[in-house]
Amino acid sequence: MTFGEWLKWFGNLFVKEILTYFIDPASRFILIVPLIIQIFLFGYTATFDLNHAPIAVLNESHGKYSQQLVKSAHLRLSIFVDTCRMLLR
């Protein structure tokens, strides 16, 4: 089967399945309602705002520039750690 034949077969299968979903009212309900619920649920609860996320910094360099970088970050840092073992707590 060539790619063109496979693409035609897949397109026909896709159209058949979509028509099947929209002909049966129960299938329409199962397809559409969870999507609408997820749009409202995740639209108001999911956010990329990380202003209140607890953040830990492991600065292994202890150099002048790394200290400036950590202090100049626009983040509210919860804790500074000195070793990797402290991160696992």
Residue type, 29: F
pLDDT at site 16: 94
Give the global pTM. Answer: 0.38
pLDDT tens per residue, range 1-45: 899 999 999 999 999 988 888 888 888 888 889 999 988 888 777
Residue pair 27/20 in contact (Cβ under 8 Å)? The answer is: yes
pLDDT at site 5: 95
Instruction: Please identify which residue in the block is written with the tokens 């999911």.
Output: 46
